[in-house]
Chains A and B, each alone.
Chain A
Amino acid sequence: MADVTSSATAKVTLPRDDQILITREFDAPRDLVYKAYTTPELVKRWWHANRGEVTIVEIDLRVGGKWRHVMVADDGSEVGFHGEYREIVPNERIVSTEAYEGAPASDYPEQSTLNTATFTEANGRTTLTILVEAPSKEVRDAIIESGMEEGLQDALALLEQVAASLR
C-alpha cells in the first residue's frame, strides 16, 4: 500500500448559529474523492472514523433517492443516519438531508440537517467542504456536542488499552 503522506486535519468552523462547515483537502482528483464518497463498499472503509464498523451503507444516488449509514461502535452501540438526496451534480456537489436515528423525535423532518458537500479540484488536489445547516441553534449545538461523547468514548477506549497492557 502506498504511503499516505497527508497529515491534513479537517477544519471545522461555525459560520452561523445554525451551521457547521467542515473543510478538508485531499491529495486526489475530485472524481476519485466523489467516488469514495458515493460508493457503498468504499464508504464502509472510511466512514467509521476508527470508532467501530460500518455495517450498512445504502446509497440511492439520485434526486429523491434515500441513503442510510449504520455503524456498530466499539462499545457495541449501534448508530444510524439516513436522509434523502435533494440535488446531485456528479463530481461537484451533493445536497442531502441527514437525520440521526438516535435523536429524540428524529422522525420529524425538522430535526434533519441539510448538508451540502462540494468538491473542488486544483492542481490534482481536491477540497471537500461539507456545510451542515441545522433547523436551529439547539440542533446544531447538539450535533457538536455529540462529538463530546465520541471524544469521551475515545478516552475510554484508550483507558481500556492501557488497562489491558497492565495485566
Chain B
Amino acid sequence: MARVARAATTADAFNAVAEPRRREILDALSGGERAVNELVRDLGLAQPQVSKHLRVLREVGAVEARDEGRQRFYRLNGRALKPIHDWVRPYERAWSERFDRLDTVLEDLKEKEEGDGGRD
C-alpha cells in the first residue's frame, strides 16, 4: 500500500522531531527567529542540552543558524519538515472533508432553529 518509505537513519526529519524537547524547540521557533539564550530561558534547559538538540535539528535541515555579533540565531526551515507535513496531509484532508459536511449539517440546524423561533 501507499506507505511512506522512511530512511532507517537517525538523520531524517522524522527522527529529529521524535524527541519531545526538539519538538518544543521547533514550537518555540514557529513564532520566529530566536537566539540560543532565549531558547535556553524559554525551555528551562541547560545550554549544552539545547545546543545538542539544535545540532541534531540543524543536521537534518529543520533549522538554520546565523551569527550576529556574539549571538547565534536559529530559525525554522519549513522545507525540511515537509515530509512530515506530507505524511499527515491525507489524514488531515479526510477530517477536513468530514468537517465540511458537518458545516452543512450545522447550517441546516441553524435554519431549523430560526424557523422554530428557538434562537435568534
Q: What is the interface of chain A mostly: helix, strand, loop, or mixed?
A: mixed
A88, CB-defined interface residue at 8 Å:
no
Contact B97 A2, beta carbon cutoff 8 Å: no
Q: Which residues from chain B contact A128 at a C-beta distance below 8 Å?
A: 99
A63, CB-defined interface residue at 8 Å:
no
A159, CB-defined interface residue at 8 Å:
no
CB distance from A127 to the nearest CB of B (A): 12
Contact A33 B106, beta carbon cutoff 8 Å: yes
Q: Which residues from chain A contact B107 at a C-beta distance below 8 Å?
A: 1-4, 28
Contact-residue size bin, chain B (C-beta under 8 Å from the other chain): 20 to 34
Question: For window 6-27 of chain A, which residues contact chain B by CB distance below 8 Å?
Answer: 6, 8-12, 14, 16-17, 20, 22, 24, 26-27
Contact A4 B2, beta carbon cutoff 8 Å: no
Partner-contacting stretch, out of A95-103, A110-118, A138-146: A138-146
B94, CB-defined interface residue at 8 Å:
yes
Contact B98 A144, beta carbon cutoff 8 Å: no
Q: Which one, B87, B92, B101, B110, contacts A11 given CB within 8 A? A: B92
Contact A26 B109, beta carbon cutoff 8 Å: no
Contact B18 A149, beta carbon cutoff 8 Å: no
Contact B94 A2, beta carbon cutoff 8 Å: no
Measured CB to CB, the nearest residue on chain A to B20 is: A16
Q: Which one, B91, B104, B105, contacts A12 given CB within 8 A? A: B91
A48, CB-defined interface residue at 8 Å:
yes
Residues of chain B having any CB pair with chain A under 8 Å: 1-4, 18, 20, 84, 87-111, 113, 119
